[in-house]
Structure 1
Amino acid sequence: MPDLADNDASDTPVIAFFDVDNTLMRGASVFYVGREAWRRGLISWRDIAVFAWHQFRFLAVGENRNHLVTAKERALGLVTGHTEEGLVTLAHDIYDRDIAPKLWPETVALAREHLAKGHEVWLITATPQLVADVIASRLGLTGAIGTKVEALDGVFTGDLDGHVLHGEEKAVVATAFADARGADLELCWAYSDSSNDIPLLTAVGNRIVINADAKLLAHAREKGWEVLPLKRSSIREAKRYVKRQSR
């Protein structure tokens, strides 16, 4: 656990930015959006097979930009014609069934430690905003910054409202966000697993590399960044703990 400084309410706000996929949870959240859509008959076996392949590749070798963009575009296309209210319900179902059991307990503990220190904790992710909002809300975090989808009269069009929040775009958005809240980036934190988030990790004064892909791990070692490797056994133990508590 990194040494987190307390934040006096009169001081400049401190923001901790957390990536979601393979940082806060094991795997890609968008896969579970696709799987729930398949369960509800919104997509075909062919579509879910593509989602499954992207999930397998992501777990095996990390985030690939081309695969990520394809998966995100497919996921965003799923919402076309559906209401915001209906998809909030779907997002809660995804959280309960698929995301909560995949959360890394160590990363969740870090997020809660930041909150205990008086820091703001924001998810920053390419995951659709609606899903990211539900994850943040269910974990009691400050909020989420995700990829936005256009909605007209409460119905999603399936088009992006801006850009997929990925790579350099994350750093740009985080910088503007921190500036708008009067935060000093040198006091802020960022957590990620992907080399695509090097711009975000570089933008803040404190960063923790979690489950790093090969490129990010090499970069982190060169820069002397803190590296936190996680093991699936921690998720299994967390599941066992939940079962014991529910008896």
Structure 2
Amino acid sequence: MPVAIFDLDETLIDGDCSTLWCEQMGRLGWVDPASFMRRNDEMMEAYKAGELAMEDYMAFSLEPMAGRTPEEIEHLVGPWVEDFIEPIIFSDACKAIAEHRAKGDRILVISASGVHLVAPIAERLGIDEVLAIDLDIQHGHYSGATTGVLTYQQGKVTRLLEWLDAEGENLEGASFYSDSRNDLPLLQTVDHPQVVNPDPVLLEHALQAGWPVHVWK
């Protein structure tokens, strides 16, 4: 069946879940809010420019979670999703998901954020299939490292092709919705690229390529 693929940050939600979780770690007292968010914002600017080394960002953003159990993080992420993520879900995103579901499409979220955030957010959207950055677990605790291919830039294509092969699916008729220049490799791979609230570089590319451009609110 056709696959409808959605980016998460700034596509399904009006914000970046990794940044919002960094703010939450400050509220929890795990980091110094001012200095930690200053560094986060610097790295997010590199992301917007297509120049972020995702390995560096993940090492930075996961360090406060090192030594904590997945169960502890899950217990904290659930209420955070309810309080901080649900209010910024785009209503137009929910409509698009519903339209694809009504057509019988298989729905997948693929995100360059950690799976500990992406999976519970997708669940709130009624989506149970996700590809995100996987976190390393040692002796039942997060190590602060990642594992596997990071779902970022070309890595999204790599992970998606592996998933399709494992699931017996293919890209025929596939759609992908994204806001970011970092997702150009995957947008150029699918039959139906869909551009949502695009950054300037992606907007220019979309207009030249004749891709649909959506303004979601």
TM-score for the superposition, normalised by structure 1: 0.80
Moved segments of 4+, more than 6 Å: none
Letter in 2 for 1:118: G
Distance in 1 (CA, whole Å) between partners of 2:48 and 2:120 is 23
2:78 alignment partner, one of 92, 101, 124: 92
Contact 2:62 2:144 in 1 (8 A): yes
Assess if the C-alpha contact under 8 Å between 2:181 and 2:201 holds in 1: yes
Question: 1:49 pairs with 38, 42, 55, which one?
Answer: 38
Aligned to 1:189: 175
In the alignment, what sits opposite 2:27? 39
Q: Determine the structure 1 residue equivalent to 2:49.
A: 64
Which of 1 and 2 has greater Rg? Answer: 1
Q: What residue is the counterpart of 1:101 in the other structure?
A: 87
**TM alignment of 1:113-192, pairs within 5 A:** 113-192=99-178
Counterpart in the other structure of 2:4: 16
Match of 1:213 among 195, 199, 211: 199
Q: Provide the C-alpha distance between the structure 2 equivalents of 1:196 and 1:158, rounded to a whole number of angstroms.
A: 24
Matched residue of 1:207: which SS?
Answer: strand
TM-superposed deviation, 1:49: 3.2
For the aligned residue pairs, the C-alpha RMSD in angstroms reads 1.9
SS in 2 for 1:165: coil
Q: Give the whole-Å Cα distance in 2 for the aligned partners of 1:207 and 1:181.
A: 22
Size of the aligned set, in residue pairs, is: 215
Task: Give the fraction of aligned pairs with identical amino acids, expressed as a percent.
Answer: 27
Task: Tell me: CA distance 1:215–1:52, structure 2 relative to 1, closer, same or farther (3 Å).
Answer: closer
Report if the CA contact (8 A) 1:125-1:147 is conserved.
yes
- CA distance in structure 1 between the aligned counterparts of 2:80 and 2:40, rounded to whole angstroms: 15
Structure 2 Cα separation of the partners of residues 228 and 144 of structure 1: 23
Gaps of 5+ in 1: 1-12, 235-247
Note the residue ranges of structure 2 that are not aligned, 5 or more in a row: none
